[in-house]
Amino acid sequence: MRADLKTRALIDSIHDFETHEVRSEAEALLLEGKLIKDYRPRYNIAFRDDKRFLLLKIRADERWPRFQTTRMKKDDGARYFGPFPHSSALHATVNWLNRRYGLRVCRVSSPGETDYKHCNADIIRNCSAPCIQRIERTEYLARIDEACAILEGKGRKGIFDDLRVEMEKAAERLDFEKAATLRDVWQNLEKTINPTRQFTRGRGVPTTVKPTEDLADLGDALRLAGPPRVMECFDISNVSSNHIVASMVRFTDGKPDNQNY
């Protein structure tokens, strides 16, 4: 097989290669994205920005929790799921879970009667209307736990068995539109809740940081006269060569200097 010019140039640039065995397309995407961000290879354009795969979070401080998407995991006491490489499948799965369990989608932290007046989710029976106490909090939290269990892959076989039965019944009734909708739910669930492994490389993140010792080591590594006192780091982001944005963070004596960011 004759390769095109681009492929021949790529082959000529290969110095060495490794193979990684993965169990699914989702694992392959997650690993590919991580390696591209780590090594920033010349020929890979996708995944080189700072955008991360989507996560789902449930905030523990909300009386009526809801699913929220985010790209950054924080130490805020929230419950996180993911990352998920297929964003469209994730959004479709979350919409299905919200409808299935009657979970709220409004963005206010503590919805009340005023919010209910401007919402139609209860009218079309997509929400259990916790804002007007139409459901007990214990029951609502139990529904949240069931939805979270699905995201964690628990009871996976039972969920797919139920969907298969519903699809077969819809087909028997000649309700092919319903059957097609259930098929889409099935496919999105498969992409979202398939178990994936996390890949790490190298020594990992240190569990403790000792600024004085670490600064001394850094000074030695850089052959400085002494430990560095001020460090400034710049991050430049480009979107298709336009919309250039820059940010700077500063550390003084090994500690974040937030006022000079």
- Structure letter (DSSP) for residue 211: H
Whether residue 228 lies inside any domain: the answer is yes
The pLDDT tens digits of the residues spanning 7-48 come to 787 788 877 778 878 777 767 777 777 777 777 777 676 655
Whether residue 86 lies inside any domain: the answer is yes
Torsions phi, psi for 250 (to 5 deg): -130, 140
**Residue that finishes a domain, picked among 160, 193, 226:** 193
Amino acid in position 82: G
> 148, 144, 151: which is closest to 192 by C-alpha?
151
Could you tell me if 229 and 128 lie in one domain? no
* Residue spans of the chain under pLDDT 70: 1, 26, 43, 45-51, 118, 121-124, 195-209, 239-242
Question: What is the spatial distance between Cα 21 and Cα 28, in angstroms, rounded to a whole number?
Answer: 9
Could you tell me if 65 and 125 lie in one domain? yes
Q: How many separate domains does the chain show?
A: 2
Question: What is the spatial distance between Cα 228 and Cα 218, in angstroms, rounded to a whole number?
Answer: 8
Whether residue 89 lies inside any domain: the answer is yes
Could you tell me if 166 and 217 lie in one domain? no
Could you tell me if 120 and 164 lie in one domain? yes
What pLDDT sits at residue 203? 53
Whether residue 157 lies inside any domain: the answer is yes
What pLDDT sits at residue 90? 92
What pLDDT sits at residue 195? 57
- Whether residue 170 contacts residue 185, with contact meaning beta carbons closer than 8 Å, is answered with no
Domain with 237 in it: 211-260
Question: What is the spatial distance between Cα 126 and Cα 101, in angstroms, rounded to a whole number?
Answer: 8
Whether residue 10 lies inside any domain: the answer is no
Whether residue 103 lies inside any domain: the answer is yes
Torsions phi, psi for 134 (to 5 deg): -75, -10
Could you tell me if 170 and 227 lie in one domain? no
Question: What is the spatial distance between Cα 59 and Cα 74, in angstroms, rounded to a whole number?
Answer: 11
Could you tell me if 61 and 128 lie in one domain? yes
Instruction: Round the CA-based radius of gyration of the chain to a whole number and report it.
Output: 24
